[in-house]
Structure 1
Amino acid sequence: MNNYEGYLIDLDGTVYRGNEVIEEAPEFIKELKKRNIPYLFLTNNSSKSQDQISVKLNQLGVESTPENVFTSSMATAKYIKQMYPGARCYCIGEVGLFDALEREGITVTEEIDCDVVVMGIDRHITYEKLAKATLAVRNGATFISTNSDNALPTERGLMPGNGAFTSVVSVSTGVDPQFIGKPETIIVKEALQVLGTKPDKTILVGDNYNTDIKAGINSGMDTLMVFTGVTKFEEYESLPIKPTYFIQNLSKWFKK
């Protein structure tokens, strides 16, 4: 079961909770490096750039370079560049989203006369930002959201996620966005291109059944579920499609 050529590894709830490392994670990554197995941290977190996330991981004792990180913001920017070349985007989000859009050469505007409205988590959200997004979508702009996470695991507990903010615009306009992050296949396909491995030779590791594990299932990949974050072990029996493997924490995997 450990003969995979690549790993896609969730962060929030799998490697850390907020600003606290999950203690088994550093050794898990060291073992991957020891075995020369390529891996990519695959996160729905749109707020930080890959550089910022890599710095955080190293500060927590988890070995990382920016090239090890792939975020929903990066996937969103690549998707917009491919599907809507030359688009002018009204953006709600934090530095990670703006950084990703800039790196792909995408034009960001404050005008509601735009081609695309793109939403990522914004912990300084205002009514005016939501109002402008709503008006732009009503005017015909394509509606894209980095991820549908309604809750975000932190050291304080589960906090509102980007899906909760996105729902405000969606409910107001009656328009459902195109989500990019897990459990959608878009982010997984793009991550596999970066990692350079095929779906049937790669395993997706995560704690959240509705995002991580479903992303793997939707993409035809094997999945490894850990019970250190959102989905609890008590919920396992009721899961409609079971993950390929499940363990209590990452320390158990290479000992199997």
Structure 2
Amino acid sequence: MNHKHKQYRGYLIDLDGTVYRGTESIPEATDFIKRLQDAEIPYLFLTNNTTRTRQMVVDKLAGHGITATVDQIYTPSLATRDYLLDKADTKKPLSVYIVGEIGLYQALLQAGFVLDNEHPDYVVVGLDNDLTYDKVKKAVLAIRSGSNFIGTNADKNLPNEEGLVPGAGSVIAFVEAAVQKKALYIGKPERIIVDMALKQLDVARDDVILVGDNYDTDIKAGINSALDSLLVYTGVSTKNQVAQQPIKPTYEINDLTEWKL
């Protein structure tokens, strides 16, 4: 099933389910990344994971036999940072209240934003394995008193070795229920993260393709961003599920050996 397709000059590539499955490597994906490197085609890894720092992602990739630099990792934490930097007033640093983990904290605090637990400019909510009622309460009270509300990504569940566990979207939904309004979402399938990633990749939109295993996040991110998409059946979505969708991915493959650069 070797598709005839245009030659793309840039790639946005999902991680979990596409490049690896948790602790399990996907050899066809490792080979695909090596082919991109050999052809000197630029790419970014575009993940919805906000809990890890970029260095932690680089280390995880190394464990799967893939060499990457921190500049090749793009997450909703970084997209939130870049979105807020666009909004920031140069006169005073933006203040934030964060519900999340090291990846989100590092991205925002290294950009110069300051923490404020009571009246921040923005409340940013992501996945937090140490979630407490008190953290949610502070977020809710701040939003109710006028802070802007950002959610890192809408994934309600995460697949791991235990099954489908709560994702960032479930934590954000907890806050949304209490403030009775929706967050502004940054991660896939939203256009915001793709636009920010394209700015960093610096390749024209028409020449970039988004590669992923999940129709609802990856492929919809492509559709929402007017970007061609490649669905690989090594992760979440199945052929039966995708067959029901009104808008199909630009291309569908069983694994990445089928994709010629």
Alignment of 1:1-256 (within 5 A): 1=5, 3-85=7-89, 86-109=93-116, 111-254=117-260
Give percent identity, aligned residues only.
47
Q: Using a 3 Å threshold, how does the CA distance of structure 1 residues 159 and 24 change in structure 2: closer, same or farther? A: farther
Contact preservation (8 Å) 1:17, 1:155: no
Matched residue count? 254
Code of the residue aligned with 1:72 in structure 2: it is: P
**Aligned-pair CA distance for 1:16:** 1.6
CA distance in 1, matches of 2:88, 2:25: 38
Unmatched 5+ stretches in structure 1: none
Report the more deviating stretch, 146-155 or 216-225.
Answer: 146-155
CA distance in 1, matches of 2:163, 2:229: 25
CA distance in 2, matches of 1:37, 1:226: 19
Contact preservation (8 Å) 2:215, 2:242: no
**Aligned-pair CA distance for 1:236:** 1.8
Code of the residue aligned with 2:104 in structure 1: it is: L
Q: For 1:89-144, what per-residue CA distance to the aligned partner results, in whole angstroms no more than 9, with x for missing partners?
A: 110101000110022111122x2222210011101111111111111111111000
Code of the residue aligned with 1:231 in structure 2: it is: S
CA distance in 2, matches of 1:159, 1:29: 29
Code of the residue aligned with 2:246 in structure 1: it is: P
**Aligned-pair CA distance for 1:184:** 0.8
Contact preservation (8 Å) 1:227, 1:248: yes
Superposed CA RMSD in Å reads 1.3
Name segments (4+ residues, structure 1) moved above 3 Å. none
Q: TM-score, normalised by structure 1?
A: 0.95
CA distance in 2, matches of 1:22, 1:59: 12
Code of the residue aligned with 1:140 in structure 2: it is: G
Contact preservation (8 Å) 1:7, 1:38: yes
SS of 1:224's equivalent in the other structure is: strand
Contact preservation (8 Å) 1:90, 1:108: yes
Unmatched 5+ stretches in structure 2: none
